[in-house]
Amino acid sequence: MAVQDFLQNESVGSLAGRMIRRITKEQHLEGFTDRQVYRILAAAKEQLEKLGALIKVGVPIIIFGDIHGQLGDLLRYFETVGTPADRQMLFLGDYVDRGAHSFEVIMLLLCYKVLHPTRTHLLRGNHECFKMNRIYGFHEELKRKRSLLLWRIFFRTRILCMHGGISEHVHNWQDLENLDKPRRPKECDEGIALDLMWADPTQSKCTTFSMNTARAISVIFGEKATTSFLETLKLDMVVRAHEVSKDGFTFFFNKKLVTVFSAPFYCGTDGNSGAIMKLSADFAASFVILRPRLVRSQILENIKALQNNYEAMAAPSPDPRSRIGDKAAVKQKTP
C-alpha cells in the first residue's frame, strides 16, 4: 500500500498510537497535518461527550496535578509509573499555558483518551479556557502550531477530585451531576463551575468561605467549610491541584484535603518538586515525587519564555466574578 493510501485510510487508533510514539520519542508533532490533529480532537471529543459533568472511576488510580506544558516532566512520570496504556490515571487539569510544550502535552493526553478511554480521565482546569490561554501563553503557542480546547469534572465514591476547590453552592450530588457541559467561558464565571476551577483552601482564620482576594476571583475556604462539605456528600477526602507545592503535594485540615501539583521547577523559577498521587484498591494513598532536573538548555528556554511573557503573566485574572449572591461584587463586574 502506498504511503498516501495508508494515511488516507489509517484508523484513528493507529494515528493516535503514532502520535504518542512521536511525542514520547521526539517531543513534537512536526510532520503531522492539521487534518490528522483534527481527527484526534474529534475522536477525543466523542469520548468526552459521552460523559456527564460528574464521572465515576475506581481504584487503583494515579492522580496528576498541574502540568502546564512541561512535557519532559510528564514523560518522566510515565517512565516511572507507566502510562494510561497499563494504568488508570486521572489528570486534574491545567495541561497548558506557561510551559513551552502545551500543544504536545494536550495532544498526548487526548491520544491516550482515544486509545484508552476507560483508563484516561481528564478534568478541566481554570487554564482550559480561551480567556486564560490568550494571556498565559497557549494561544501564542497555538498560533505557531495548531489549536484546541477541552473540559471535565470528576468524582469517586469516597474521594472528590477537582482542579480548584469546593463550592458553598454544592448541597448534594445532584448539584454536580446537573452541571451542564460543554460550557462557554461566560458560563464559568460564577457559581459552582467557577469555584471548582478557581477556589483555594486556606490555613488562615477563615474557616468557612471568603472572597479570594489573592486571585480576585472565586473563594478561599477553611477547615470548617471543608468538613461540612465532606459530611454533606459523605466523602473522606478532597483531591485538588491549582497551587504550586514545594514538595509536589500538601495536606490540609488533618488530611481532609490534599493539593497535588505535578509540574516540577515550575516556570523555571520556583525550585519546587512535582508529584503524582497513587490510590490503591483499598484507597491507600502514596505519592511519586519528581525532583527538579536542572538542565541548562531547559533553564535558558524557561528564562527566555519568562522574559517574552512577563507582561502577560503579570496581568490580572480576566473578568473576575463573584460567587452567586454576592451582589456588591457583581456590581463591580467589567461591562
Active site residues: 127
User: What are the respective helix, strand and coil percentages of the chain, to the nearest 5?
Assistant: 40, 15, 45
Q: What cell does 319 get?
A: 473578568
Using the Cα atoms of residue 121, residue 242, residue 79 and residue 103 in order, give the sign of their dihedral. Answer: positive
Residue 90 pairs in a beta bridge with: 63, 121
Q: What are phi and psi of 251, to 5 degrees?
A: -90, 145
Widest Cα–Cα separation across the chain = 69
HSE of 40 in the Cβ direction (CA atoms, 13 Å)? 30
**Distance between CA atoms of residues 142 and 190, nearest Å:** 28
Helical ranges in the chain per DSSP H: 3-9, 12-26, 34-49, 71-81, 102-115, 130-136, 138-144, 173-177, 191-198, 223-233, 296-308, 310-313, 327-330
